[in-house]
Homo-oligomer: A and B are copies of this chain.
């Protein structure tokens, strides 16, 4: 644990993250009300994730907007490390990316890093590749259009990625990866090389890229930004979302490998209800009497946070839940019931679309090289 009492790297998130400190530590920019307004103005609509600071930080988002208003395009890129089934936390940047794509009318790439998860976890390539295809279904289920959206699966599409990654890799040395990721002499050489493959999609189109993603992934693109000019390219721009807490509460992000700490998009209604009731960290009091008297703490309550981050876009409704829970009028069980209903409603539609996505998956894949 660092002196700041929190750790945020692409492979490890721990502690109670202070996002203002993180902005300073990573050297990113806070999304100011002014920048947020500019996005809203150009998009012609606001987005609750922006309004609520779920997306809180950026690099060069102002440049992207300025160039865009001058008629210069950009494209979007985000991704996922397929270590297991998709959980609801993963959907945050994807949903926001979809909104950006619609409002700005731009092309989008989605990268599934089956190799990365193979390098970093005790698993097989067959397993991570299987989950890459599973995760792709969740992505497609959000309603992306195959005409301007492409899915990259690293081991499948390495023919496209590798020549770009090689140019990146030549400009990054082991010291850079040590400083950025904390690698040691014991780190495997797949992991050491891997960052260049996560960089590669930044340069797949001959225009600037904007990457909406969890802030824990920022270090990869810090390296990419450092070397972009050395290979004659524009630095990638980024817009970062906060970490989505696991059911166990603050102190880490939701992890696909902690089965009870996670709501998967494939969970049944019964499993969702059980997980939320049993594992969702509560900001409530130990018993009803005290809760009625002292009220709950929605700011640390995971069920409330899930509503804020994803499941209750309506500000008025969210405010009323916040106040009722804080005053003690709403009990923890009631709050959890609201969330369970929201999740299950979302998942029943999502799971249907997810099954249909099997039929359209091929349209999203890159042309084979």
Please tell me if the beta carbons of A178 and B185 are within 8 angstroms of each other in the complex: yes
Tell me if A110 counts as interface (CB < 8 A to partner B): no
What's the Cα separation between A119 and B369 when bound, in Å? 22
For window 354-369 of A, CB contacts with B under 8 Å fall at 368-369
A369 proximity list for chain B (CB < 8 A): 159, 368
* Closest Cβ–Cβ distance, residue A181 to chain B (whole Å): 11
Residue from B162, B169, B185, B368 in contact with A174 in the complex, judged by beta carbons closer than 8 Å: B185
What is the total number of copies of this protein in its complex?
Answer: 2
Query: By DSSP majority rule, is chain A's interface helix, strand, loop, or mixed?
Result: helix
A170 proximity list for chain B (CB < 8 A): 118-119, 188, 190
Contacts known (A174-B187, A188-B172, A368-B368); A166 close to B196, Cβ less than 8 A:
no
Please tell me if the beta carbons of A190 and B166 are within 8 angstroms of each other in the complex: yes
* Closest Cβ–Cβ distance, residue A164 to chain B (whole Å): 10
Chain A contact-residue range equals 35 or more
Please tell me if the beta carbons of B115 and A166 are within 8 angstroms of each other in the complex: yes
A: residues with CB less than 8 A from B are: 115, 118-119, 125, 155-156, 158-159, 162-163, 166-167, 169-178, 183-190, 192-193, 195-196, 368-369
What's the Cα separation between A286 and B118 when bound, in Å? 64
Please tell me if the beta carbons of B189 and A196 are within 8 angstroms of each other in the complex: yes
A156 proximity list for chain B (CB < 8 A): 159
Please name 14 pairs of A and B residues whose Cβ atoms are closer than 8 Å in the assembled complex, sorted by A: A118-B166, A125-B167, A155-B162, A155-B166, A158-B158, A158-B159, A158-B162, A159-B159, A169-B188, A172-B189, A173-B187, A178-B185, A193-B193, A368-B368
Residue from B125, B158, B189 in contact with A192 in the complex, judged by beta carbons closer than 8 Å: B189
Known contacts A170-B190, A190-B193; 11 additional CB pairs below 8 A are A115-B166, A119-B169, A119-B170, A125-B163, A155-B163, A170-B188, A174-B192, A175-B185, A189-B195, A192-B193, A368-B368
A174 proximity list for chain B (CB < 8 A): 174, 183-187, 189, 192
What's the Cα separation between A178 and B187 when bound, in Å? 12
